[in-house]
Every structure is written in structure tokens, then in C-alpha cells.
Structure 1
Amino acid sequence: MTNPLLAQWDTPFELPPFAAIGDEDFAPAFDAGLTEARTAIAAIAGNADAPTFANTIEALELAEATLDRVAGVFYNLAGADSTDAREALMRDLAPKMSAFSSEVTNNKALFARIETLWQDRETLDLSPEQARVLELYRQMFVRSGAQLEGEAAARLTEVKARLAVLGTEFSQNILAEERGWFMDLAEDELEGLPQFLIDAARAAGAEKGRAGPVITTSRSLIVPFLQFSPRRALREKAYEAWVARGANGNAQDNRTIAAEILKLRAERAALLGYPSFAAFKLEPEMAKTPDAVRDLLMRVWTPARAKAEADASVLEAMLRADGIAGPLEPWDWRYYSEKRRKAEHDLDEAALKPYLSLDAMIAAQFDCANRLFGLEFRPLDVPLYHPDARAWEVTRKGQHVAVFIGDYFARGSKRSGAWCSAMRSQKKLGRDVRPVVVNICNFAKAEPCLLSYDDARTLFHEFGHALHQMLSDVTYGFISGTSVARDFVELPSQLYEHWLEVPEVLETHARHWQTGEAMPSDMLKRLLDAGTYDQGFATVEFVASALVDLAFHEGAAPADPMQKQAEVLEGIGMPRAIRMRHATPHFAHVFSGDGYSSGYYSYMWSEVMDADAFAAFEETGNPFDPATAARLEQFILSAGGSRPAEELYLEFRGRMPGVEALLKGRGLLDAA
């Protein structure tokens, strides 16, 4: 029988035939894809003709077509709906795919062809996009060790293979920890919990096979539990389990893995001639250097810490008023902060959430995309990989743009967090390929699914990434969509969050899930007025994580990452009642792969731009200004990596922003 992953996909929009694909199909499909790719690359490297852009770079773009197609399906499923078989294959593939990547970049004949093109680039009559693609291909090869020889080249290959194995192991350990821990709640322990949380806890209990409600380490369950449960001992138990993921002294303990990863990264950088892994990693980013990153983070840290310390004093007074001697602990912060928010802003999340149903917020994000970019969304009735996933066809003026898949509910087979990925990316080389884009979230599954305002912001954030993929308009897949500098990739996503704050968006879409009534105007005003509430806390927990990430990758690798983490936090004066947003043993951004290593700061670097970018709309007096939206699409969303990030932003805005817009947006300007 033909492997469905290798057959032609005669399906609507050439979607993967999920119903026909079994876990047993992936390994042979990867083998076939690797064989095909190796044959194609050998032919490119061994081509007797002089190198041209077409017979070298464009040929490389097409060489891994089957491998890309198989990987696009597998890695999406492995993150969103893991099985034992998929996890085992992930472990098998990690060194195999790393070895293949090194095999390509270590191919001297292939690199010689790329280098010849690079040296002759001024005479090749390349388009600006082609020139950029050539530059990035050469950069990738050089940074992957193409210029190394002998033992150094061989050692770098070993290091990268081991890092791939360790990153996979780190990620799977977190998933196992999250899948394995839950806390049963007796009926009397539901005291003080709003109905939406009780419903979600019962649904989680049913998924775990328990008779009653449970709290898991899913953020959409544990955060509201910490906000509303008056039982301090239960809050402490849940909180400590949440922050201890990956550090429980069991088979899933990630601390020694983190240490080895940091050691190997430092060695990798040294082999390539860099003083540190941070210097290596930041070179192609907008920030360029560790000093530039630290300067930004510390300019934000100082006012954020001052604000958080002032807030902590208020919350500790509330704690003492409850007859608790103190001090304020991390598992107390959200509980008393929620009480304070209700008192100062008359905002009760339990009263707010009925107006923020998942379906209503999906409609809101689609409506904004329609008003800004003319996109329309039609539900699709097609087989997908899980019953919770749903799909839409995206069109503009009747023309197909993309398929968008949303998979929104937490489950044991899905890794935590929220992300955007593409099962298929946009490109024009060979033929016009339209993308299949996926948004993954981990909202607590309940009927109806009611979101917190923070959940709704997450939804908009990931959809901003999706727009970056869907509106991509480039020839070469290498620079498609979100294939941009890491500290630029968060600009579209964080910028899109701003439209959730536009009053007319909430006036239209924030409607009670039962009655259909709009959110009361006074509630809407209080919600928007409280937009910067508790930003001292949120900024401190983020910046602390970013500073620890940066410190890990500067200079010699720490023998004990946990000790290094403690030293960094002590050095910056971390408030006692706040902890890092992601402690080292479950810091997946940094240790599940190289994506955000030395790069967790990227969210804040992009935030400096997103605050300024939305101001471009505000300055017109219209948050949906057509001319500004057209520039945003032309220079940011459709451009991918076709030009350096600084150039694209300058084309859109005319200048680079300062940190003041970020501080103002977080309500920290007065504390600066």
C-alpha cells in the first residue's frame, strides 16, 4: 500500500489526509524524504556546470520538498497531539535530522558553489529578494560550520547532534511532568471558586479519569485557581507543583540536561570563533550584542521592580488584614491582586468572563483581520488530526489565501503554552503554494469555553503570528512568513493584541454567551482603564527570565544552572513574592531547542516596536486606517525575511522607536 504521506494529496486545499495517516507511516516517510533530499543535494553539489542562482540556490530550495511536507505534518502533531509512538520517533529523529543538516552544511563542494555566487553577487543581476536569499543561505552555512575543517568540523557535528537529542528530551520531560501531576479537589475545597473554574476543573478531572474536579499545571486552570481559592495551603501546593516542573528529582528532572545544553552551546560558539554563545546567537538579530539586550532589559527592570515592590506592600497589608502574619508569598500574589483589582477597578473576572467566550473572541480576531486586510473566514468541514481542532478557509476578494486551523483546548497529549506554526508555508518557486497555518492554545475545556482577558490577548497574539504566515508574499520559502530575525518575529503578534483593546471591537464582540447582551459600558470602561494593572508583577517575572537566559549564555557555561539562576536573581534584587515566569527546569523557550536561547528578550524588543507601530494607527484617528494597514501588510506582514528587519520597520514607520512607548504602554513611565 502507498504511504499516505508520500502519495499525492487529493484533498481539499491539499490538506494532509489525517484520517489515512497512522503513526507507523511517519518513519518510512522520513526515510524516503531524506533519501530524496540527499540525492538532490548530491546532484547540486556535483553539477559540472558553473554555479548559478537557479542551479544552486533555487535547486536547494526545492531539494527537500518531500521532507518538508512530512515534517510539516509530524512536528505539528508531535506538539499538539503526542502519542508514545510519536514521542519515540521524535527521539529517534533528533540525531538523524541534525546529522542530515550537518551533512548538508559540511558539504564542501556545495558550499564552494554558494561562496562563488556570493563573491560574484554584484555581477549576477539578482533581484533584491534573490540577493537577500543568497546572503541568508551563505550566512546559514557559515554559522553552521561550513568553513571549519577536520576535527573542529567533526566535533561541531557531534555537538549539534547531542543538542538536538537533549532538546527533545527536555521538552518531553516537561510534557510528562504536566501530564502526570494533578490535585483532586473535594467539594468543600471548591469554596470561593467561580463557576467557570469549577466547570473547567470537572472537565479536567473527567479527562484524567477522576470522579471529581482536579487542578492541573495547565496555566488556564492553575492561574484562576491561584486567583480565587481562599485556601492558602491548597494554593501553595498547586503553585509549588507548577514551578517545580522538571525539578522533582525523578526520571523527568531537567537540571542536568540544562547544564549539559549550556556547556555544549558554549563549545559550539567557541568552535565557530565567538566569545560566547550569546554573541554567536545575537549576531544576526536586531539587537546584535548581549550589551544591547542587557541595556534594554535593565532600562525596563528598574521601574518595573519599583512598581512591583510598591504593589507588594499593598498586597502584604491585605494579607495581614486577613490575620496572616506574612510575609507575602508567591502563591499569595494572584489571590490578593485579584481582590485588589476588584476593589480598585470594580473588576471581577468571574463577572467579566461570560462576555469573553472563545467563539466570540475568534469572531473578533477575524473581524479585525477583515477590517484591516480584507480577509474573510469560512468554516471548513474537513477531517483534522483531533476532534478539538477546527479549520477555516481564508479568502480575499474571492481568492484563496490560506487554510487556518485553530486547536484551542488543553489536553494531556499537548505540550503547554500557545504557539503558531505552519504545516505548509507560502512560496512561489515551482508553483504558487498557499499556507496551512495552525494556532495552538491551552484553554481549559468547558462548555461554554470562557476566556480571561489575558486568554483573549493570547488568542489575538497567536493570530498575529498567523497573519504573518497567511499574508506572506515571497518567492522563496526560505524567507517566508515568520522566517525573520527572532527579535522581530514577535512584532506582528504583539501588535495584533492592541486591537483587542479597541473599544469598538469589544463593544461589538464582547457579548454575554447566554443572553447575547453587549458588555455593559461601565464594565468595558473599567476593563480598559485597568489595562496596566499589575504590570509591575508581569514585567518583573518576564524580565527576570530574560536576564537569566542572557546570563546563562555569556562567558563560560555555568556548571550549576540553578546556582547561576539564584545569583542572577539576587544580583538584580528580585522581589521575594515574585518568581521567574519560567524557571530553568521548564524553560522550554530556551532549552527545548535553540529558538529563543539568548533570545527570550525578543518579546520585549518587539514590544518597543509594537507600541510605536500601533501609535501609527492612533495618529490617524482610526485604528483601522486603510493606508496604515496597507503599509503594515506591505512592509511587515507580506515581506517575510526579504529584507533586514530594521529596513522593513523603517519603511513602515519612518523611524525607530525608543523604550518610552513600552514603559507608557505598561504604565511604568512614572516609575522610571
Structure 2
Amino acid sequence: MTNPFFSPSDLPFGLPPFAEITDDHYRPAFDRGFTEQLAEVERIIADPEAPTFENTLLPLERSGQVLHRVSAVFYNKSSSDSTDFTNDLEEEIAPLYAAHSDAIRLDAALYARIAAVHADREALDPESRYLVERYFAEFTIAGAGLSDDDKETLREYNKQLSTLTTKFEKNLLADTNDLAVVLDDVAELDGLDAGAISAAAEAARERGLEGKYVVTLVLPTGHPYLSSLTDRSVRERIMTASRARGSRDNEFDNRQLVLDITRLRAERAQLLGFDSHAAYVTADETAKTPEAVLGILGALAPIAARNARDEQAALQELADVEIAAWDWDFYTEKVRQATYDVDTASMRPYFEAERVLHDGVFFAAASLYGVRFTERDDLVAYHPDARVFEVSDADGTPVGLYIYDLYTRDSKRGGAWMNSLISQNTLLDQPTVVVNNLNVPKPAAGSPTLLTYDEVTTLFHEFGHALHGLFARVTYPKFSGTNVFRDFVEFPSQVNEMWILWPEVLANFAVHHETGAPMPQDIVDKLHASSSFNEGFATSTYLAAALLDQAWHAISAETEVVDVAEFEASALAAVGLDNTAVPTRYSSTYFAHTFSGGYDAGYYSYIWSEVLDADTVDWFTQNGGLTRENGARFRELLLGVGGSKDPLQAFREFRGRDADIGPLLKRRGLEE
């Protein structure tokens, strides 16, 4: 058998040969990948010459190519198109991968060589010097300096955590599918447009429920349909199902996993010399300490909670029932219409997905950066719904490939995200292939896909990540694409959201899918006028999740938590965000970001990055907005550097100073 992972692909841009890859290829490729990289590291350690950048860091950066290839493809598949096979293999591989990573990062001889190069790093060029500094910091924090006995304990922690977090993700996907709301009568979907009803019928048909309607759940607590459904009992069913995920007495119960994961993380942090997992995580982020994180989150929480209470009072004036969590979005739309004459549901006909992609997302990128997008029907992606686009600069210079996967399916985890299948670097002469995954309900064949305003925002956001991955031009693989600090990575994606309502962009894509008429200017004006409307609710739900994440990871190794719901309620009450009508964006048992998605003690990153984002939007606005000159500066000084320099230094070079929090407070209506 010729395994396609054993050598680089000869397809354009090194696109993985998806048409050739079968389930039988994954495990042999993982096995060879583990073996080869450990042998490559052993050769570095065995080198009799004194440690240098050339004989230590460079071969380390070149190592593990088979493992990188199979990992990128497998983990993209397991999240976007999982099967029983991928679920089983992921659980099998998780502890092996953790052990493999530990075998490298905890090797005392390798650490000694890196430390020696680190001591003499001043003679290196800036990017090489930063590479040494990053390796030294990461190995140190990972525990490379521990005793042999402590390393053995650490390996066991890492092995157990890899298994538990993988199990959490699989449970969540299964329970999310299991709790999808099945409706018998189309009348129960009153308030939804034809496209949404078609998507619910199609979801039912795919499950063998002909004549019924299925509302699939999204990752956050809320659901886009809650703003439109007129049947209160249906809204309650959707919200109740959403909040029940992972907390029922069944095989998908995540409650014990939450307790086990947080306990093990706390014990590991103590072993590594930190007071908490939050301290361990932030030590190697731009925030540096959990106190710095809580300084911002804690200052914003009471203002957001106050604003949410004011908004709730306005909703209550319209409602003939006490406002519950499943009523908030519905009555918010009524208040929005009454106060600003804005009906977000009426905007959907202007947001046809294909037009949003080509005439909105791609158009904004072309206007700013001069890039062009050409669909490559000749290239096969990992799923029939995933489409491949070639990206090139205005002069024809190749940039990379962009894979676009819009629709939800039972085999895809919730939420939206960007992956890199191949990341540019000159050391290995590698190109770039990035993926955007969303979860938009797919209507029946022949029906248009009409997006909500939130879904348009999500597409622009995730495409901001894609641009970061496409534009980074670095020497070393470690710095490629979006390989930056977790609390900086959301910055470029959030900036890209600004172009949705930029006049030239909006006018180009917001066109009625039937009549061809542009979105009326008065709707746009009202949308701008209402931009901070409901921000008390939006900010409160986000901050509740971010502070809940911090609370779980502030516990010490000695803290005993026995009840997930009790801990969550107490944590939210402590910060004044325990309003039952304003639920946390993610409850613990379906908080994928923190218990399986790599944002543990890092969910604060969104608002931390938004400080930079809001300040950058001000810069674009003050400097002429959507121009090639502005795009070139942002691309060169921020997107283009990837992770090859300190991100806050890169921001200062772009902005001319440190970020100002003022624009963020104004945007979110949090000014006192």
C-alpha cells in the first residue's frame, strides 16, 4: 500500500490528495510519524558538536513532516466530517500524541541544547533569535526542567487530559445531535422564513423523519431562530435542549469530565510551579497573569450586567409574560423594531450566501489587499460540500488555497473555525492551504441559502483568520499562519468584521436575492444607529462564559468541587452575572472552547483581542478605510508577520503606540 501521507502531495499548493486517502492510511501514518520524529530528535541530541542554532533549532523545525501531514488532515476531518472510525481513532491516538509530545518537550538533553543556544542568541537575526526564545520559554513552562520523577507524573497528567478532553468533544457532538428538536407541524415554525423552514425539513429528511421538521442546535446557548419563532413553547424547547447538553444522566454526560479535567489541570499546574491552571496558561500569553485578565473582565462585568438589566426592563414592557432566556431574542427584535425600526429577520433576503461570499467577503479582501479568488472545481476537498478556491495577488503571484465549508451536518462539530492544512514557511518551502468551517443549515436543493446577520458576521470573522493564515510570510514553521499567542489570534479576525457595513462592501453584496434591489439605505442607517443596542446582553453572556472559564481554572490542586451546576451558579453569582434571563454563552458541560478546544483559561482572548481590534477599526476609519494603501500596511505589519515577532510589538509598529481601550468601551456601550 502506498500511503499518501508518507510523502508531500504533488497537487497544487501541496493540497492533500483527499480522493486517495482512506481510513486505512491514518493509523500507519501516525505510527510512522511518531517514530520518525523521535528518531530525528535523537539525532539532534546525539550530535557530538556543541549546540548551535544550525544543528539544534533548524533540524528540530524540520522534524516530524509525516506527523504534521497526517495530523492536519485527520483532525480537520474529525471535527468537520467525523465518523465512528475517526471518533474511535481520535480517542486511541490522543494519549499516544500526548506521550509523543512529552517525549520531545521533556527531554533533558534536548532542553540543555536549546538552553545553550538561548544563552548565545544575541548574534542571531531577529526572527531566529525569537525562535530560540519561544522554544526555550515553551519547554521551560512545559516542565523540561523538572526532576525525572516529576516528569513521569506530568506525563500521566498529560495522557489523562488528552483522553478526557477528546471524550468531552465526542460526547458533546453526540448529545447535540441527540437533543435536536423534532417538530411535527410546520405551524410550530411560524415566524421563520421559507429558507429556514426548508432547512428544518431537509434536516428531518436526512434523519429519516419525512414530513417532520428538525431544528439542529448550535454551539452557543442561544439559537438564531429564537428571535423569530412566535410559538413560545417551541422557543422554550430549543433553549432547554441547548442547555441540557452534556448534563443528562446518559452516556454523553460531561459533568464528571468537567470535574476530572479541572482537577487534573490544577494538579499539573501545581507540579509545574504555578498556583493555578489560569496562571500556567497566561504565563505564556500576552496577558501574563490571571490578575491582568480579571482586571479587565471584572471591571466590565458590573457595567454590562447593569446595561442588561436596563434592556430587560425595556423588553418586559412589551411582554405579557415574565421574560425568560428563551424570550429575550424574540422581544429584543420587537424592541429593536419599535425603537430603531430595524427588523433583522427582514435582512435575510439580502444576504444570499453565494453573493455574500463573492461580492462581500472576497470583494473586501480584493479591495484591501488586491487578492483574487478562483474556484478550482478540478481540486477535490474532504467533503462534497467543501469548495476549493485558489488565491493570488493582483500581479498573479500565488498566495495559497482557501477551502470553504459552509453547511452544518451531524458529522460536524458545532461553531465555526479556521484550520490550516499546510502553512507557509521558507525553511521547508511550503505553501498555504487554509479551511473555513461554518454551521449554516442547508436548505433543500433549489432553495437559496439566506444568512442571518450573525452568520454574515461569523463568515467575515472566520475569513479574517483565513487571511491571517494566507498572508503570513515567515522563515520557520513554528511561526507560520495563525501560530500566535491565543489571546492575540482573534485580533485579525475581529478586524475583518468591520467591512460588513462598510458602504462600498455592503452595497456590493447586500442585494435582494429575488428582486436584485439593494438593501435600502434607511435599513443600513438604522442598523448603524442600533449598533450598541442589546450590547448589555451580548457582553454579559460573553463575560459570564469568560469568567466561568477563569473560575474553573483558578482553583488550586487542593480545591474540591463535587457539583458542576453548583460551582457554575456560585461563580456567576460572585461576578453579578447570574441573571436567569441572560444565560452564559456556554455552560460548563458544553463549553467546548475550554474543555476540548484549546481555549482553557483563554476564553478571555476574544475581548482581550477586541481592545486591539476596536482601536484598529478607529485607525482604518481615520485613514480612509477600504484602500489598498491601508490594506498593504495592515498586511505587512500584522498579518504578514505571522508569529515571527512579539505580537504587541507588531501592533505598536502598526498603530504607532499601545492600544487604547476607549474604542472598545464605546463600541460595547460600556462607558460610564
What's the TM-score, normalizing by structure 2? 0.96
Q: For residues 33-72 of structure 1, what are the structure 2 equivalents within 5 Å?
A: 33-72=33-72
Q: 2:661 corresponds to which letter in structure 1?
A: V
Q: For residues 375-394 of structure 1, what are the structure 2 equivalents within 5 Å?
A: 375-381=371-377, 382-394=379-391
Counterpart Cα distance in 2 of 1:651 and 1:88: 47
Q: How many Å apart are 1:626 and its aligned residue?
A: 3.5
Q: Using a 3 Å threshold, how does the CA distance of structure 1 residues 503 and 667 change in structure 2: closer, same or farther? A: farther
Give 1:577's match in structure 2, choosing from 577, 581, 605: 581
SS of alignment partner, residue 20 of structure 1: coil
SS of alignment partner, residue 401 of structure 1: strand
Q: How many Å apart are 1:160 and its aligned residue?
A: 0.7
Mapped pair 1:192 → 2:191 = yes
Q: Which residue number corresponds to residue 162 of structure 1? A: 160
Q: Which residue number corresponds to residue 201 of structure 2? A: 202
Q: Which residue number corresponds to residue 650 of structure 1? A: 652
Give 2:345's match in structure 1, choosing from 350, 353, 364: 350
Q: Which residue number corresponds to residue 145 of structure 1? A: 143
SS of alignment partner, residue 250 of structure 1: coil
Q: 1:47 corresponds to which letter in structure 2?
A: D
Q: 2:295 corresponds to which letter in structure 1?
A: D
Q: For residues 245-324 of structure 1, what are the structure 2 equivalents within 5 Å?
A: 245-320=245-320, 324=321
Q: 2:605 corresponds to which letter in structure 1?
A: S
Q: Which residue number corresponds to residue 608 of structure 2? A: 605
Q: How many Å apart are 1:527 and its aligned residue?
A: 2.3
Q: How many Å apart are 1:256 and its aligned residue?
A: 0.6
Q: For residues 433-444 of structure 1, what are the structure 2 equivalents within 5 Å?
A: 433-444=430-441
Q: How many Å apart are 1:268 and its aligned residue?
A: 1.0
Does the 8 Å contact 1:18/1:384 carry over to 2?
A: yes
Q: 1:646 corresponds to which letter in structure 2?
A: L
Q: Using a 3 Å threshold, how does the CA distance of structure 1 residues 501 and 571 change in structure 2: closer, same or farther? A: same
Q: Using a 3 Å threshold, how does the CA distance of structure 1 residues 656 and 7 change in structure 2: closer, same or farther? A: closer
Q: Which residue number corresponds to residue 174 of structure 1? A: 172
Counterpart Cα distance in 1 of 2:115 and 2:221: 53
Q: 1:360 corresponds to which letter in structure 2?
A: R
Q: Using a 3 Å threshold, how does the CA distance of structure 1 residues 577 and 73 change in structure 2: closer, same or farther? A: same
Mapped pair 1:404 → 2:402 = yes
- Cα deviation digits, residues 384-431 of structure 1 (max 9, x gap): 111110010000111111100010100000000000110011111032
Does the 8 Å contact 2:619/2:655 carry over to 1?
A: yes
Q: 1:415 corresponds to which letter in structure 2?
A: R
- Cα deviation digits, residues 91-140 of structure 1 (max 9, x gap): 01100000000111122221111111112223xx2110000000011111
Q: Which residue number corresponds to residue 328 of structure 2? A: 333
Q: Using a 3 Å threshold, how does the CA distance of structure 1 residues 150 and 219 change in structure 2: closer, same or farther? A: closer
Q: Which residue number corresponds to residue 512 of structure 1? A: 512
Q: How many Å apart are 1:225 and its aligned residue?
A: 2.6
SS of alignment partner, residue 434 of structure 2: strand
Q: Which residue number corresponds to residue 128 of structure 1? A: 126
Q: Which residue number corresponds to residue 395 of structure 1? A: 392
Does the 8 Å contact 2:348/2:450 carry over to 1?
A: yes
Mapped pair 1:231 → 2:231 = yes
Q: How many Å apart are 1:89 and its aligned residue?
A: 0.6
Q: How many Å apart are 1:302 and its aligned residue?
A: 2.1
Give 1:614's match in structure 2, choosing from 594, 614, 617: 617
**Number of matched pairs:** 660
Larger CA deviation: 634-643 vs 223-232? 223-232
Mapped pair 1:413 → 2:416 = no
Q: Using a 3 Å threshold, how does the CA distance of structure 1 residues 558 and 196 change in structure 2: closer, same or farther? A: farther
Q: 1:194 corresponds to which letter in structure 2?
A: D
Q: 1:573 corresponds to which letter in structure 2?
A: G
Q: How many Å apart are 1:183 and its aligned residue?
A: 2.1
Does the 8 Å contact 2:13/2:432 carry over to 1?
A: no
Q: 2:126 corresponds to which letter in structure 1?
A: P
Counterpart Cα distance in 2 of 1:207 and 1:292: 48
SS of alignment partner, residue 319 of structure 2: helix
Q: Using a 3 Å threshold, how does the CA distance of structure 1 residues 289 and 602 change in structure 2: closer, same or farther? A: same
Larger CA deviation: 651-660 vs 187-196? 187-196
Q: Which residue number corresponds to residue 367 of structure 1? A: 363
- Cα deviation digits, residues 541-575 of structure 1 (max 9, x gap): 00011111111111425513432211111122222
SS of alignment partner, residue 583 of structure 2: coil
- Cα deviation digits, residues 477-500 of structure 1 (max 9, x gap): 101121111111111000110111
Counterpart Cα distance in 1 of 2:84 and 2:296: 42
Q: Using a 3 Å threshold, how does the CA distance of structure 1 residues 427 and 226 change in structure 2: closer, same or farther? A: same
Does the 8 Å contact 2:390/2:400 carry over to 1?
A: yes
Q: 1:160 corresponds to which letter in structure 2?
A: N
Q: How many Å apart are 1:207 and its aligned residue?
A: 2.1
Q: How many Å apart are 1:29 and its aligned residue?
A: 1.0
Counterpart Cα distance in 2 of 1:193 and 1:379: 32
Does the 8 Å contact 1:197/1:224 carry over to 2?
A: no
Counterpart Cα distance in 2 of 1:625 and 1:216: 40
- Cα deviation digits, residues 39-89 of structure 1 (max 9, x gap): 111111111122111111010111111110111111111100001001111
Counterpart Cα distance in 2 of 1:590 and 1:107: 28
Q: 2:149 corresponds to which letter in structure 1?
A: E
Counterpart Cα distance in 1 of 2:651 and 2:433: 26
Does the 8 Å contact 2:370/2:628 carry over to 1?
A: no
Does the 8 Å contact 1:552/1:558 carry over to 2?
A: no
Give 1:590's match in structure 2, choosing from 589, 594, 610: 594
Q: 1:350 corresponds to which letter in structure 2?
A: A
What 5-or-longer segments of structure 2 have no aligned partner?
Answer: none
Identity score, percent: 40
Q: Using a 3 Å threshold, how does the CA distance of structure 1 residues 14 and 657 change in structure 2: closer, same or farther? A: closer
Counterpart Cα distance in 2 of 1:494 and 1:93: 33
Q: Which residue number corresponds to residue 425 of structure 2? A: 427
Mapped pair 1:17 → 2:23 = no
Counterpart Cα distance in 1 of 2:224 and 2:102: 45
Q: How many Å apart are 1:26 and its aligned residue?
A: 0.3
Q: 1:402 corresponds to which letter in structure 2?
A: G
- Cα deviation digits, residues 175-201 of structure 1 (max 9, x gap): 101122222221331333322321221
SS of alignment partner, residue 377 of structure 1: strand
What's the TM-score, normalizing by structure 1? 0.96
Q: How many Å apart are 1:448 and its aligned residue?
A: 1.0
Q: Which residue number corresponds to residue 114 of structure 2? A: 114
Counterpart Cα distance in 2 of 1:4 and 1:479: 26
Q: How many Å apart are 1:529 and its aligned residue?
A: 2.2
Does the 8 Å contact 2:258/2:589 carry over to 1?
A: yes
Counterpart Cα distance in 2 of 1:196 and 1:344: 27
Does the 8 Å contact 1:220/1:443 carry over to 2?
A: no
Does the 8 Å contact 2:169/2:596 carry over to 1?
A: yes
Counterpart Cα distance in 2 of 1:426 and 1:245: 38
SS of alignment partner, residue 308 of structure 1: helix
Q: How many Å apart are 1:656 and its aligned residue?
A: 1.8
Q: 1:524 corresponds to which letter in structure 2?
A: V
Larger CA deviation: 627-636 vs 73-82? 627-636
Counterpart Cα distance in 1 of 2:250 and 2:347: 40
Counterpart Cα distance in 2 of 1:565 and 1:597: 16
